[in-house]
């Protein structure tokens, strides 16, 4: 065993060398551990080294190892019992034949892959809507209508911007629901937000942009995507009024800013009107672009959603929307509304080929949207999520008076602000309870100081049957 562990440690080290620092390092460590379990090199029941000693072996921070262990416990790969340490779980993991020493992990774990592969007992990770509510019958109906009505040419190679039928109804919808100035000509269909962001990263690089300002809090996968094409990402400060866009004026060399204006992800605030104007003013005076990530703009529970930033200046804002939160990530359907002069560059970044996913899906979604089924679905989900949020807020108030739910009543997640110094402990004890939940710190930009402990709670995912159990589990781990 000692020798096997040594081999494993060496492999681990190899993988970690590409993982960078910070969240990437933890993810790399988790990948390596998962792969070792999957391949059978770490057999079920085997006791892992303590986080302290593995950290020392690898020359990394002990907390990184402890966090990775906790998360793998939550995912069901490992088990942890007081007194018996951390062990490989007994649940059978299919042993995958590997092709010798040079084989790399077949599936580097992404948030999504992790989710599919294993399931914690309770899941409050943010980012996924209620999958059980996908309107299968209505979608199928739209699909039948679309497929029947489609002209033969719809089965060929399409316009790289996407089907005109979809762009036409989207233009109408986005104007009505989100105040977006959208003409079909300037809409580009993409495979969800990440694809759109990637296209913009290429456009920006081709324009010799070197820096894109980001918010203090966000998603590391987005940052990594931008970093990978060589962009630097200075962060704007965040306060009670939202992201301090005034700061843009002093940032020389920044060519664009990525923002979640309607509902900051994950902090949960709506950008203050003055800050909205400041962002647009900066873009106008500097010639920069605002990339508006409107990921959940449909879901506001206390009032009409604030219109998109894009409406203020369609020539300076690239609006990015998605069906991933409002319908389902599996559709891989997103849309960009881009300044007129940028359409050609975005299409070029797409490689002049429409790999935006199936034209049939686009026609189906056009039907779904045009028939009013989308509006009905969004209304139903709004009621559902609002109820969930209300129940979450009530449960937290009842069980943890020192915890504060922050942010506007919107979207699919809430931030639970914890007393200073509590976050790491709460996340870990949640993992021990089989409750998957993410700390706020995980979403913090590396350059921004830690000022707030908290949890980012996604309340859309748990099935109805698990919801009250999930709230109880949460109550048990929050500070009294």
CA distance 418 to 48: 31
In whole angstroms, how close is the CB of 101 to a copy of itself at the nearest point? Answer: 10
Contacting range for a copy of itself; rule: CB under 8 A; set: 85-93, 191-199, 266-274, 418-426: 191-199
134 lies in the binding site for a copy of itself (CB under 8 A): yes
Cα pseudo-dihedral 92, 97, 102, 108, rounded to 10: -50
In whole angstroms, how close is the CB of 154 to a copy of itself at the nearest point? Answer: 6
C-alpha gyration radius of the chain? 23
Pairing verdict, β 453-458 and 413-418: antiparallel
State the CB neighbour count (10 A cutoff) for residue 341. Answer: 9
Does residue 200 come out as left (phi exceeding 0), alpha (psi in the -120 to 50 range) or beta?
Answer: alpha
34 lies in the binding site for a copy of itself (CB under 8 A): no
In whole angstroms, how close is the CB of 136 to a copy of itself at the nearest point? Answer: 5
55 lies in the binding site for a copy of itself (CB under 8 A): no
CB 320 within 8 A of CB 189: no
Contacting range for a copy of itself; rule: CB under 8 A; set: 84-92, 101-109, 276-284, 418-426: 101-109
Three-class secondary structure of residue 427 per DSSP: helix
CA distance 216 to 115: 26
Nearer to a copy of itself, 194 or 306 (CB): 194
In whole angstroms, how close is the CB of 147 to a copy of itself at the nearest point? Answer: 5
Residue in 275, 325, 332, 388 binding a copy of itself, rule: CB under 8 A: 332
322 lies in the binding site for a copy of itself (CB under 8 A): no
Query: Please, which of residues 451-480 interact with a copy of itself by CB under 8 A?
Result: 463
Residue in 34, 167, 178, 195 binding a copy of itself, rule: CB under 8 A: 195
Residue in 51, 64, 86, 191 binding a copy of itself, rule: CB under 8 A: 191
CB 37 within 8 A of CB 88: yes
148 lies in the binding site for a copy of itself (CB under 8 A): yes
| Token reading at 72 | 């793998």
Nearer to a copy of itself, 105 or 479 (CB): 105
Token look-up 């919801």 returns 467
CA distance 211 to 427: 33
Residue in 353, 380, 394, 397 binding a copy of itself, rule: CB under 8 A: 353
Contacting range for a copy of itself; rule: CB under 8 A; set: 68-76, 194-202, 266-274, 294-302: 194-202
Nearer to a copy of itself, 82 or 99 (CB): 99
Pairing verdict, β 317-322 and 334-337: antiparallel
């Amino acid at each position: 065993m000692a020798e096997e562990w040594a081999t494993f440690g060496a492999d681990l080290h190899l993988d970690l060398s590409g993982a960078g620092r910070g969240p990437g390092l933890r993810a790399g460590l988790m990948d390596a551990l998962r792969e070792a379990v999957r391949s059978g090199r770490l057999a079920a029941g085997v006791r892992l080294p303590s986080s302290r000693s593995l950290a020392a072996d690898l020359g990394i921070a002990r907390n990184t190892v402890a966090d990775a262990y906790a998360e793998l416990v939550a995912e069901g790969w490992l088990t942890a019992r007081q007194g018996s340490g951390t062990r490989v779980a007994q649940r059978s993991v299919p042993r995958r034949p590997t092709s010798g020493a040079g084989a790399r992990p077949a599936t580097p774990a992404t948030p999504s892959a992790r989710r599919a592969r294993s399931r914690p007992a309770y899941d409050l990770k943010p980012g996924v809507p209620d999958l059980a509510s996908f309107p299968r019958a209505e979608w199928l109906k739209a699909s039948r209508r679309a497929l029947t009505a489609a002209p033969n040419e719809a089965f060929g190679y399409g316009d790289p911007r996407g089907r005109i039928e979809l762009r036409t109804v989207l233009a109408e919808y986005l104007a009505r629901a989100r105040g977006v100035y959208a003409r079909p000509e300037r809409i580009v269909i993409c495979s969800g937000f990440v694809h759109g962001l990637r296209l913009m990263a290429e456009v920006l690089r081709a324009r010799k942009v070197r820096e894109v300002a980001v918010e203090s809090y966000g998603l590391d996968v987005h940052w990594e995507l931008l970093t990978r094409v060589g962009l630097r990402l200075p962060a704007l400060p965040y306060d009670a009024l939202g992201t301090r866009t005034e700061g843009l004026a002093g940032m020389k060399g920044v060519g664009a800013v990525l923002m979640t204006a309607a509902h900051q992800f994950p902090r949960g605030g709506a950008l203050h009107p003055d800050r909205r104007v400041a962002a647009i003013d900066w873009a106008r005076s500097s010639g920069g672009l605002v990339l508006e990530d409107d990921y959940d703009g449909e879901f506001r529970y206390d009032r009409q959603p604030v219109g998109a930033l894009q409406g203020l200046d369609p020539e300076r804002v690239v609006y990015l929307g998605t069906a991933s939160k409002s319908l389902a990530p599996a559709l891989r359907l997103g849309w960009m509304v881009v300044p007129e002069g940028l359409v050609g560059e975005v299409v070029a970044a797409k490689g002049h080929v429409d790999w935006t996913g199936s034209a049939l899906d686009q026609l189906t979604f056009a039907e779904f949207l045009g028939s009013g089924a989308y509006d009905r679905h969004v209304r139903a989900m709004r009621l559902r999520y609002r109820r969930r949020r209300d129940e979450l807020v009530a449960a937290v108030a009842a069980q943890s008076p020192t915890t504060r739910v922050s942010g506007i009543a919107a979207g699919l997640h809430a931030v639970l602000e914890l007393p200073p110094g509590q976050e790491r402990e709460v996340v870990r004890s949640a993992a021990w309870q089989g409750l998957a939940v993410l700390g706020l710190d995980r979403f913090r930009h590396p350059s921004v100081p830690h000022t707030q402990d908290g949890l980012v709670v996604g309340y859309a995912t748990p099935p109805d049957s698990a919801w009250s159990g999930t709230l109880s589990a949460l109550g048990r781990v929050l500070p009294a």
